[in-house]
Amino acid sequence: MTRHPHLWSDIRDGIRDVAAPGIAAIPIGLLFGAVAAGKGLSAAEVTLMSALVFAGGAQFAAIEIWSTPVPVAALAFSTLLINLRHVLMSASLARKVAFGRGARLLGFAVMADENWALAERRALRAPVSFAYWGGMGLVFWLNWVFWSALGAVIGAAMGPPERFGADFAFTALFIGLIATFVTGRGTLLVIAASGITAALVHRFIGAPWHVAAGAIAGIAAAYLAAPREDAP
């Protein structure tokens, strides 16, 4: 019987790395399910939405403007704007993964901010194999689907997550992840430009425009900070 030590090792690494984000996602998933149920969605509909969309920010934005009849155009535009960052994330990661285009089309369907950041960090020291990405992505996807479905079932019994600080879980997680990317003045400039721009746009214009604005500012800062080759 053929053994694949690297395969199982990479799967274990992916599951281990995504454990902390998975725990942080629990109260957010429960909250989303409860809010969606309050808007009239059944537990089955919440489960299907989480399984197919798998984008917490976009799902919260959609539920926020959900009404009867459903404003399809507003839903489509707001979720598109929020999820445009996935185009940039995919483009960045595509050059660093050790699997082909077909596998990327399949595997990137479970891309989220958390497993993207973890894969980028792993790429600094080891190949990002499909086993690593798949183990991490599948577990994170199942985690989100399960807890959002449970949130729809238990509903209002949860109470607001602010009362025990769970609303800050993802923010704290990302502060830790971003800190690992700071390798010099260039990356610090990119992070500062993106964060400050997103905060200002959110304060004076509002969501979801701050997501795209922060991404554009980060790209511009990365371009300006990139070393220039002397012209021949």
Please report the pLDDT score of residue 232 as a whole number.
44
Contact (Cβ atoms closer than 8 angstroms) between residue 82 and residue 208: yes
pLDDT per residue as tens digits for the range 75-116: 787 777 778 778 888 988 988 998 988 999 889 999 998 899
Other C-beta atoms lying within 10 Å of the C-beta of residue 53: 14
Please report the pLDDT score of residue 136 as a whole number.
94
Please report the pLDDT score of residue 230 as a whole number.
45
Burial of 164 (0-12, 13-18, 19+ CB in 10 A): exposed
DSSP alpha helix (H) spans, the chain:
5-38, 43-53, 56-64, 72-83, 85-94, 101-107, 113-123, 130-154, 169-179, 185-204, 209-225
Q: What is the pLDDT along the chain (232 residues), one digit of tens a residue?
A: 345 557 889 999 999 999 998 998 888 888 888 888 888 889 999 999 999 999 887 888 788 777 777 777 777 877 777 787 788 889 889 889 989 889 998 899 999 988 998 999 999 888 899 999 999 999 999 999 999 999 999 875 665 555 555 556 556 655 665 665 566 677 778 878 888 888 898 888 876 677 677 778 877 887 787 665 444 4
Contact (Cβ atoms closer than 8 angstroms) between residue 115 and residue 22: no
Token reading at 54 = 């798998």
